[in-house]
Structure 1
C-alpha cells in the first residue's frame, strides 16, 4: 500500500431491547496497512441507513446474516476506490456494495458494483438507483402490475422504497394512496411526489378516510411496514387483489413477530399475499437502472434522498432517527472527508 489508513467502524456493543439506541453501538478504530493481490481499498463516501438492520440485531439464530456482539454493523455504502490490486477496478472509480458501516473498506471485489455516474449522482445509488429503487421497480411492474383501472395503497409511503413505488404506480396511471406518520409527510407525498391521496395513520379516523378515497377497493396493497395499518387495509382488498410484502418495519424490533388477523378477506376476495426479494432480479438490474435514470432525467420521477452529513460515529444517532420517522425518502449518511 502507498499509505497507512486509520479506519473507523461501528460495531454492535449490546443487543437492543425494543428500538435500537445509540448506546447499543460502539465506534472502534484499526489500522489498514496491507492490501493483498486482487483486493481494493474503498473510501466510503455515503452510507445507507436501512430499517431492516434492526431485524438482524438480536440474540437469535432464527435470522440469516444476523449481527452478533462486536461484529461490524452491516450496511450498504457508496465509495471511491483509492487503491487497487484488482485488475477489474481502477483508482477513482465509484462503487456500491454491502461493505459495512466504516470509513475504509477492503474488498476482493466480489459483490461490488461500479456506479455509472453518467446515470445518476453517487448518493442516488443508495436510493433510487440502489436496492430501494430496484425493489420498487420490479415488485410493482413485474409482480403487482399497476394500471389505470387500479387503486394502489403504498403503506410506508415516505420511506426509501415507498417514496419511489408510489411514483412508479402513478406512471402506470393508477390512483395512488399513501400512508405515513405525519401531516407534513402527507403534504410532501402529494405536492412533491404526486400522490393522489396521503393519510396520516396516527389519526383515529385514518381507515374511514382510506375507505372513502379508495371507494372501499384496494387492488394493490404495497406493504412496507406490516402491523395494524396493513391488517386493517385487508378489509377492503379488491377482488383478485394483491398484497405485496416488501417490508415489515413495525415488527423488526419486536421480540415476537405477529402477522395479520384479517387474512380471511384474502380468501373471500380471491386475493393473494405475495412475498418479494429483490435478489431474484439481479440479472436485470441494468434494465431497471436505465429506465429509472431515464425517468429521473425526464423529470417523471424523483429519487428522494435524505442526506445527513457527519462522521461514521454519527450512524447510531441517525439509525435511531430513522425509527422516529425523521426521514423523507432514503436516509443516507454523507461522510465528511
Structure 2
C-alpha cells in the first residue's frame, strides 16, 4: 500500500501531566501484512486514565510503554488487507492497535464487531473494556446485592457512568460524585442516579452525608485521594470498597494514601483492587448481558467523541485528568 502511517510514540517519561514534548510524531510506510497477519486502518482510539500509568517505568499489572515505542491504545478499525483466513477485507475489529493510523496484527486479541448494530464508539465503551470493568468491578469485586446503596466517585466518567446504571438495573440507590453542575445534572436527569454530589462545591462532604445518611454498601472508587477518604467515612456495616482507579493521583508523583482506613475495621468492611484482564475468560458472558440491556433501553453508553487525527492524541489525553470529558473519551480519526 502506497501510503504513510502517522504515529505517536513516547519520547520521554512524563513528570506529572503529560506535555507535548513527551511525545514524538513519527511517520513510516504503511506495513504489508505477512502470512497470518491483517492490516487494520484505525478509525477510533480509546483514551483511558490507565494510559498515564503505562507511561511510568515502574512495576505494574502490565509492562510500561517503552521509550520510542508507539503509544499503547485500545482501538477500533477496519481490515484493509488480510492474509489471515479468520478475517476478511472490510471486517470491523477492535484490539490493541496503538496510536497510529495503520496497525499490523496476527489476530490474537482482535474482536470482530458490527458497526451496523451499534456505533464503533460503543464497542470501545459499554461493549468494550469500559463495560467489562464496570460489570466485573461492581458484580464480582463489589458483590452487589439488589437494593443496596452504591456510591461512585468519578461518576461522570466512562466506567463510573456505567457502574451507576448497572446498579440501578439491580434496584439499588445510586449516589455519584462528580465535578461540576453539568455533570451532576447528567447523572440524575439522564442516567437515573438518585443523587449527585459536586466535589467542587465547598462543604461537599456534607452533601454526601445527606445523600447517604445510613451509609453505603458499595463504594466504587475511580478517584482516590481526598475523595476516597470522604467515601470511607460513609461506609455501612459490611461495606465493600472497590478500587478501580485513582485518577486524582496519577500525575502526582507521590500518591496520597487513605487517612480514614480504620473505617474498614469499625464497619467490618473490605477494600479490594482489581484488574479487568483477570476476568478475560468471562468477557463474552458480560458482553451478552450488557448488549441485552442496551437493546432494552435500560443502559446507555455515554460517550465523549473528539474528531481529529492521530496527531491530536497528545492534546486530547489530558482532558481525562482535567475532568473535561463526560463519559467515555474516544478520539475518532477523521470521518468514519
TM-score w.r.t. structure 1 length? Answer: 0.95
Q: 2:231 aligns with which of 216, 222, 233?
A: 233
Aligned to 1:97: 95
Q: 1:85 aligns with which of 83, 86, 92?
A: 83
Q: 1:285–1:116: structure 2 CA closer, same or farther, 3 Å change rule?
A: farther
Counterpart CA distance in 1 for 2:124 and 2:134 is 13
Aligned to 1:47: 45
Aligned to 1:206: 204
Say which is worse superposed, 208-217 or 264-273, in terms of deviation.
208-217
Say which is worse superposed, 185-194 or 246-255, in terms of deviation.
246-255
Contact 2:42-2:97 at 8 Å conserved across structures = no
Deviations 1:192-238 (A, max 9, x none): 11111011112121111111111140111001111110112111211
Counterpart CA distance in 1 for 2:174 and 2:299 is 14
Aligned to 1:145: 143
Counterpart CA distance in 1 for 2:247 and 2:326 is 15
Instruction: Tell me by how many angstroms 1:250 deviates.
Output: 1.3
Contact 1:120-1:293 at 8 Å conserved across structures = no
Deviations 1:95-137 (A, max 9, x none): 1111110000011111111114465321111100000111111
Aligned to 1:191: 189
- After TM superposition, list the pairs within 5 Å mapping 1:1-337 onto structure 2: 3-58=1-56, 60-63=57-60, 64-117=62-115, 119-336=117-334
Instruction: Tell me by how many angstroms 1:16 deviates.
Output: 1.6
Contact 2:187-2:193 at 8 Å conserved across structures = yes
Instruction: Tell me by how many angstroms 1:319 deviates.
Output: 0.5
Aligned residues: 334
Contact 2:149-2:217 at 8 Å conserved across structures = yes
Q: 1:287–1:72: structure 2 CA closer, same or farther, 3 Å change rule?
A: same
Contact 2:31-2:104 at 8 Å conserved across structures = no
Counterpart CA distance in 1 for 2:35 and 2:86 is 12
Deviations 1:18-54 (A, max 9, x none): 1112332121100024321101000001000111111
Counterpart CA distance in 1 for 2:50 and 2:305 is 19
Contact 2:4-2:30 at 8 Å conserved across structures = yes
Partner secondary structure for residue 109 of structure 1: coil
Deviations 1:143-200 (A, max 9, x none): 3233444210011001110011000001111110000111110011111111110111
Counterpart CA distance in 2 for 1:23 and 1:158 is 30
Q: 1:92–1:72: structure 2 CA closer, same or farther, 3 Å change rule?
A: same
Counterpart CA distance in 2 for 1:187 and 1:33 is 47
Instruction: Tell me by how many angstroms 1:5 deviates.
Output: 2.8
Contact 2:248-2:321 at 8 Å conserved across structures = no
Partner secondary structure for residue 164 of structure 1: helix
Unaligned runs of 5+ in 1: none
Q: 1:141–1:62: structure 2 CA closer, same or farther, 3 Å change rule?
A: closer
Contact 1:154-1:179 at 8 Å conserved across structures = yes
Moved over 4 A (4+): none
Counterpart CA distance in 2 for 1:322 and 1:233 is 21
